[in-house]
Structure formats: C-alpha cells, structure tokens
C-alpha cells in the first residue's frame, strides 16, 4: 500500500540556484490530489555519495520515492548507475530502448555516439517508463520490502507526460485505486490570489474538500478537490455551483485549458477570422494565438508596428490622431483595430498599444499603461489597462488581458 | 570554517504543491557566489517529527543549516520550539523583540494577543536576526561542535532583506571570506547536450574545476567553475581558451545573456534597423526581439502573415512564386525577407516560413521543415532547417535558429 511519498530532485543547477525547481511542486500537487502524503522533498547535486544519501533516506521515509533528473547522456548524469549500486543490481542494457534511441538519431541525421547508449542502461529488473517527448526513458524499481523507486526525466514537459501516461495510472492501481477523488480546475482572470482567497472565505468547505490555488503569472488556477467515493458527488456539484456564484464572472474556463484555446474555439464556432495589430506586446499575442494547433483556420495575420510610421503605413492610422492623442491612446487603439480589420479583411480585429517600459513612461501615461481596441464591421470598442511590474510582466499581463477582451467580445 | 551548507524549507504548502518554493534557489545562488557549497535542499511539512528529522540530517551533512518558514504566530509555526527541543535548550522570551512587536501592533491599532508573543520566543543563547520587513525575526544558534543553524522568515521579500542585511555579512566574516570561485557561462547554439559533452571529452579538467550543462530548450548553457583563490586564475584562463578552441563557433555569448540581447547589441553597434516577416513562428521572434528593453531603437516592425494572401498583400510575395514553389520554399523565404525590408525601409530583413505542425506536412516537406531568408540592400540569402518535436518545440527551435542566422549575418 502506497501512502507516503518522498520526492527527489537532482542536479547541480539546483544546488547553485541557477534553476528554480518546479517539478517537485508539480509532482506534489498531483500526488496530493490522489490522496497520497508527500512527507519530504530532497534535493541534491549530481554526485554519487549525495545521490546515495538521498535514495537511502528517501526510502526510509516513504513507501514510494519519485525522482527527476540525471537521466541524460553526459558524464554528470548518474541516476541509473547510482540506483543500480544502491540496490546491488547490475546495470543492464534495454535493447528496445537502445534500438529506439538509435532510430531517433538516425532519422534526424544526428551523429550517434556511445554516450547516447548510456540512456538505455537501467538497474536489472527495472520496469521502463516511456518518455514519448524525449530521448531519456525513466524506470521503476521495486525493493525487497515492497517499496518503490520511480525515476523520470527532469525536463518539465517530459516529466509531465511521463506522469500522466504511466505513473499516475500505475499508482491508482498499485495503491488499490487510492481514494476516489473528484477535482475541478477553474481558470481565473481578473483576480489576484489573495483577493480570490478573500472572496471565497464564506464558502465553507467540508473536511473532505480542499481549495488550492496555483499562480503562474499571468495564469491563475483555482482547484477544488473532494476525497471520497460516489457518495460525495452531490457535495461536489453543490460546492462547484457555490464557487461559481461567488466568482463566476472571473472564470474563463474549466479544466486544463488556456485562454488562447478558448478564443480559438469561439472563433471557430462563429466561423470568424482574426487579425491583430500589436505594438507593446511585440508579437506575443500572435504567438499565443498561433501556438494552438489548427489556428491557421481563423488567424489571418498580425501587424507588429513599433513605430508611428509603421502604424500609419501598415494600419492606416491617421498622422493627426498620433500627433493629437499619442500612440498610446483610445483613438490610436481604435484606428489600429479598425485598420487591421480593413486591411486583412478579417471578421474581428484586436489592437494593443502601450508602454512596456522600463523607459517611455510619463506622469500622465506611466509605464504599464495600455490601450486595447476591438473592431468588428461597423462597431468598435476600446479599453484602458494599467499593468504593474517590469517589462516582461507588462507584456505577459497585457497579452492575457487582450485575449480576455477578445473572449468577452466573442461571447 | 563554513564550507558545506544545507537549506531547509518548511511548510505544508510545499508538500501539497500549492506553492513553488523560490527561497531555496535564491539562497543557493547567494551562497554559491560566496564560494560555499550547497550539499542538499530538504523540504518537509509543518510537523514536529519531520522538522526534527530535517534538522538532524541537515546538521549531519552541512557545517551550516539555513532554514526558512514556520516563524509565524499560529499553531502550525513550530520552528523555535523544535529547534529548542533539538538542541536541548529552553525557549526564552527576548524582551526587546517582544517590546518591538507590541509597539508595532499598537501603532497600527491591531489587536494584541498572546499568540503574537510566540514570535519573541527563541532557543536560549540564540542570536536574533532582525526582520525589518515583517513581524517575525529569525535566529542563529551555534552548536557544541561549531556548526550553525540559521532560521529566516519564509516570506521571500523578508528573507531577502534578512540575508542581505545580516546573514551574508556574518558569513563573509565567519567563513574567513569563503573560497574564491571563478565561473564562466558559455551560451551555445547548434549542439545538443550530449554532442557537447562528447566534443569536450579531450579537455582534461583539474580536480578543482567542474563543467556543467544546463539545457532549457532551445537554450543550452555550459558553465565552467574553478574553486580556489588567485593562484587558480591562470588555470581558469587556460581552460576557457581551451574550451573556445573546441567549440568556439557554437558559442554565441558568454555570461547571462540571451540571443535576442546579442542581436540587439549588434544592430545597435551597426546603427541598423530590423524588420521581420514571420509565418510559422506566429510572432514569437518579434516577441523575443522586443522583450529586450530599448529594442524600439532598432526594431521597426514584424508582419506575421499566416495566409498566402497576406504574404502577397503585405510583403509583395509574387503569386507565381507561391504557386510554383509553395509557401515553404527558398524562393518564398527570400521574397518575404526582401519584401519586408522594402516595405519597412529597414536595413536588414528576416523571414521565417515553415510547417509547425501537427498537420500540414508532406513526404517532401515534413512537419518541422522551415525556410528562413535574410535580406539586405542588394544582397540576400536563405537557409533550410528541419526541426523535431511538437508544434511548440518547432516554434521555439525556429525562433532560436532565426536569431542565430541574424546574428551571423550581422557579424
């Protein structure tokens, strides 16, 4: 029975502060939602004695130890070797993994070196955990006293897929299904974490339920989890309804969905095409729209115009408007949106113009001031925003607000 | 002599994945720069036995243990109590801290409860570490065998000030300045991690030196660190020269620098302006260029043209070219770059056109096929690339290759 989990992260880059480890929080979140208890998170550098120390103490504290990192082909990737030594088993080549690695390199025309074969070596008796997103598969070892060591890639997107595809289904089975869990994720726009916490205070939770937040600017997710089987289902739907009562207008989606995916879906439902005119976001809104597979069906183009001249030339903004109201103004935002709509012959046009900083601000229009416009045929609208923080944060915040502005216009 | 450091983080929110811990990376970075070695980072929840476990093992592994969190007034803030128990010393009220706490509450008109006095209790003999940004001061305890436990607030901005004002000056003194460290980061393009490792095999490292890699696609950094004082300086410069001999052409920068910053610097040195024509990257190259502060000095505009029509309309690509060679071809890439150069009246134009996937590929032009063009007045050039992976990865890889293509054209 798996109840207690220890998470290990390895890598010199964690010990020198060059990298903030997000993997362990991600893994802890997933395990917590399955009703397991994370008792410790241990991080050590890529040296043999430290890894051995972490393995030993992890397996003392937990029924299951899950580690990430150190599966690569280079000399400082020691995980398989150290695990083999710890369990007193030889390293063994997995022929299937080796063949797949070789094929992968050949198909890319990359030089094949013996180093790469290192990634096909695992402690004898280990189960392979496939890594569909990368070259380094992980592994699972069962100890004599029915404890488990699992090891995954340290690359976040590879780790996530390995968790989803292999680890979580296996855990659900190995822990006797664990306790049944109902979970719901609300994607939030327009509230800070502490404001959200405040607003939800009156929502009283039964002891078997839990609300948790995850903020990854500009993204904010609220998660409701209820432990227990079918008998809790009524509680669950009552609670989600109650949450919607309090924060409904701030919820833009439910589940693992992005704002750009929702906008894309709305555009497709309407059969509309989109054109963008970006200034301070420099192309980032276009990137977010087009990172969604299939976006070429509704995305026409984006004109990223940094200078006044290019706003006149490519978007037909009037020189008089720029002179009278400035590039960051309601009037310019409207003309940009109307201009790109007309030029691109699209169904809806969105414009963003603002001051991302660190320079360019004034008392009247401080850094973070952004105007956005939306134009449809015969109808347009503009909104003013003020974002806090450095250049990167203004760009991220403006892209999120722009997509949300577009979403509300499409509803 | 303080050489080895262990970082402890405590808090149930770390065990449930609600919070990504940035404190330990921050502390690790500062200690590393002082020449100290962080040997482990241990995180446990707010329970007494786990905290005792972490203290015991931390003090076994390190000369100094630095912890954060659990200094607040609530019942689950156990740090002082557990430390006192671990060292076998009574808890003692610090009268000065108690008086300051009381004043702080009174001056703000906040209710004063006995709970708050808890924050003035410390293990007997501890030195107080002031917390100018918050209510909870930290403390420092010296053990019988000359090891140290330091404890700081878990609130990042409070922790930072406590480090800066008290901890770092004390460490500089207590460790006799620590060992000096020379470090150098090479930013790499065009090599995989394993290929890099292979190429550098013949570079023999003295025992006091270390090479480490950090891959965060599409970014790859190679770091050389040498411990030791002035007498190692010659070794260090010899080693960096040797590394440059082997991988010089793949190094695009040194230190904490991005490809977009280097491109920006080269454009500024030449006094040139840049215009972009993006297709499959959807605006991401424009975003990378414009995330750099001051980029408005050299960035004119980007035309993100997803459809053939917009390539004709905004970039002047010939319909015959698109029909004969397709949108993803040498000819189209060249006409896009030349078109945007002309339209924007810029000094250099860069185009990217390709198939990001997951659909749109063919046997002849599979997903990941990308053509890029660079145009200057009277001179243009195009290159073909083939990227692996999903849509996101093709976009990231293409943006990196595009910026590097631009960089080499500017040299």
Q: Could you say which residues from 347 to 366 on chain B have a Cβ atom under 8 Å away from some Cβ of chain A? A: 356-360
pLDDT in tens, B246-276: 999 999 999 879 999 999 999 999 999 999 9
Confidence (pLDDT) at B288: 98
For residue A201, the model assigns a pLDDT of 83
Q: Rounded CA gap, A31 and A43, in Å?
A: 18
CB contacts under 8 A, A 280-299 vs B, are 281-287, 289-291, 293-296, 299
Topology of domain B259-410 in CATH is Maf protein (3.90.950)
pTM confidence score:
0.78
**CB-based contact A17 B40, cutoff 8 Å:** no
Per-residue tokens: A178: 């664990």
Nearest to A358 among B45, B278, B293 (CB): B293
DSSP reduced 3-state for B84: helix
Q: Please provide the CATH number assigned to the domain covering A181-254.
A: 3.30.70.2860
Q: Would you call B287 and A282 a contact, using CB atoms and an 8 Å cutoff?
A: yes
- The pLDDT value recorded for residue B117 is 84
Using a pLDDT cut of 70, give the percent of chain B over it.
97
Select the residue of B31, B286, B343 nearest A283 (Cβ to Cβ).
B286
Q: The domain B4-174 belongs to what CATH superfamily? A: MoaB/Mog-like domain (3.40.980.10)
How confident is the model at residue A172, as a pLDDT? 78
The rounded distance, in Å, linking the Cα atoms of A277 and A265 is: 21
On whether the CB atoms of residues A277 and A306 are closer than 8 A, the answer is no
Determine the residue among A301, A340, A389 to mutate to test chain B binding: the one whose Cβ has the most chain B Cβ atoms within 10 Å: A301
- Show Cβ contacts of residue B120 under 8 Å, excluding neighbours closer than 6 positions: B93, B94, B95, B97, B98, B101
Return d(Cα B58, Cα B48) in angstroms, integer.
Answer: 15
Q: Is it the case that residue B227 has pLDDT exceeding 80?
A: no
Distance from CA of B192 to the nearest CA of A (A): 9
State how far the Cα of A184 lies from the Cα of A32, in Å rounded to an integer. Answer: 14
Distance CA A392, CA A356 (A): 8
pLDDT bin (cut points 50, 70, 90) of residue B138 is very high
0.90 surpassed by complex ipTM: no
**DSSP label at residue B167:** I
B29 contacts A18? CB cut-off 8 A: yes
Mean pLDDT of chain B: 90
Question: What does the alpha-carbon distance between residue A74 and residue A62 come to, in Å, rounded to a whole number?
Answer: 29
**DSSP one-letter code for A72:** S
Confidence of residue B25 (pLDDT cuts 50, 70, 90): confident
Q: Kindly compute the dihedral angle of the four CA atoms of residues B333, B338, B341, B345, in this order, to the nearest 10 degrees.
A: -160
Beta-carbon-side half-sphere exposure of residue B83 (alpha carbons within 13 Å): 34
Residue whose tokens read 């978007």: A315
Tokens of B143: 């053990």
Report how far residue B292's alpha carbon sits from residue B299's, in angstroms, rounded to the nearest whole number: 10
Q: pLDDT tens digit string along B358-382?
A: 999 999 999 999 999 999 988 999 9
Facing residue for A15 by CB, picked from B26, B28, B291: B28
Cα of first residue to Cα of last residue in chain B, in angstroms, is 49
- On the 0-12 / 13-18 / 19+ scale of CB atoms within 10 A, A98 is middle
- Which residue ranges in chain A fall short of pLDDT 50? none
B49 in contact with A at a CB cutoff of 8 Å? no
Helix (H, G, I), strand (E, B) or coil at B333: helix
Of B80, B92, B75, whose CA–CA distance to B136 is shortest?
A: B80
SS3 of B300, please?
strand
Q: Across chain A, what does the average pLDDT equal?
A: 90
Distances (CA, A) of B325 to A4, A150, A317, B315, B328: 60, 50, 35, 17, 8
Residue (of A409, A357, A376, A399) closest to A189 by Cα position: A399
Residue B233, pLDDT score: 76
SS3 label, residue A193 = helix
pLDDT for the residue numbered B105: 79
Between CA B290 and CA A302 the distance in angstroms is 15
- Alpha-helical (H) ranges within B212-347 are 233-247, 259-270, 284-290, 308-315, 319-325, 330-344
Q: Note the pLDDT of residue A2.
A: 86
CA separation for the pair A150, A127 (Å, rounded): 9
What tokens does B223 get?
């770091």
Residue B242 has pLDDT above 70, yes or no: yes
**DSSP labels, A123-170:** ETTPEEE--TTSS--EEEEE-TTS-EEEEE-SSHHHHHHHIIIIIHHH
Q: Phi and psi of B250, rounded to 5°?
A: -95, -5
Query: Residue A127's closest CA among A110, A150, A146?
Result: A150
**Dist CA A78 CA B37 (whole Å):** 19
Give residue A73's pLDDT: 82
Rounded Cα–Cα distance for residues B200 and B194 (Å)? 10
Percent of chain B with pLDDT over 90: 64
pLDDT at B8 over 90: yes
- For residue B362, give the 3-state DSSP assignment: coil
- CA B396, A302, B402 angle in degrees (round to 5)? 30
CA–CA separation, B256 vs B270, rounded Å?
23
Task: Report the 10 Å Cβ neighbour count for B198.
Answer: 18
Q: What is the pLDDT of residue A176?
A: 61
Cβ–Cβ gap B15/A29 under 8 Å: no
B293 vs A76: CB contact, 8 Å cut-off? Answer: no
Q: Is A66 helix (H, G, I), strand (E, B) or coil?
A: strand
Say how far apart CA A29 and CA A41 lie, in whole Å: 12
What is the domain partition of chain A in residue ranges?
Answer: 4-174, 181-254, 259-410
C-beta atoms of A75 and B314 within 8 A? no
């Amino acid at each position: 029975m798996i109840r207690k989990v220890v998470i290990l992260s390895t890598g010199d880059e964690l010990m020198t502060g060059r990298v903030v480890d997000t993997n362990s929080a991600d893994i802890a979140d997933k395990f917590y939602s399955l009703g397991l208890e994370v008792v410790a998170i241990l991080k050590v550098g890529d040296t043999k004695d430290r890894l051995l120390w972490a393995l030993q103490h992890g397996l003392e504290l937990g029924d299951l130890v899950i580690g990430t990192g150190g599966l690569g082909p280079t000399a400082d990737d020691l995980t398989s070797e150290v695990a083999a030594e710890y369990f007193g088993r030889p390293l063994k080549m997995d022929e299937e993994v080796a063949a797949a690695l070789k094929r992968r390199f050949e198909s890319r025309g990359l030089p094949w070196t013996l180093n790469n074969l290192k990634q096909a070596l695992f402690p004898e008796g280990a189960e392979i955990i496939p890594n569909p997103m990368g070259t380094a598969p992980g592994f699972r070892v069962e100890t004599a006293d029915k404890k488990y060591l699992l090891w995954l890639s340290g690359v976040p997107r590879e780790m996530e897929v390995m968790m989803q595809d292999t680890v979580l289904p296996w855990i659900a089975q190995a822990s006797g299904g664990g306790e049944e869990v109902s979970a719901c994720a609300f994607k939030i726009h327009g509230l800070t974490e502490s404001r959200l916490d405040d607003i939800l205070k009156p929502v009283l939770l039964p002891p078997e339920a839990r609300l948790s937040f995850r903020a990854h600017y500009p993204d904010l997710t609220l998660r409701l989890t209820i432990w227990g089987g079918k008998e809790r289902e009524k509680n669950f739907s009552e609670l989600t309804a109650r949450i919607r009562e309090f924060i409904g207008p701030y919820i833009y989606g439910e589940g693992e969905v992005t704002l750009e995916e929702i906008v894309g879906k709305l555009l497709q439902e309407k059969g509309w095409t989109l054109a963008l005119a970006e200034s301070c976001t420099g192309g980032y809104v276009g990137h977010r729209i087009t990172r969604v597979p299939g976006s070429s069906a509704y995305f026409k183009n984006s004109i990223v115009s940094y200078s006044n001249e290019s706003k006149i030339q490519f978007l037909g903004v009037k020189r008089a408007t720029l002179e009278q109201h400035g590039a960051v103004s309601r009037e310019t935002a409207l003309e940009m949106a109307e201009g790109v709509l007309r030029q691109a012959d699209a169904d809806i046009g969105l414009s963003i113009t603002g001051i991302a900083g660190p320079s360019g601000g004034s008392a009247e229009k401080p850094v973070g001031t952004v105007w956005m416009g939306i134009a449809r045929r015969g109808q347009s609208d503009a909104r003013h925003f003020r974002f806090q923080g450095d250049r990167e944060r203004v760009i991220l915040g403006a892209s999120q607000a722009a997509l949300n502005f577009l979403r509300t216009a499409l509803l």
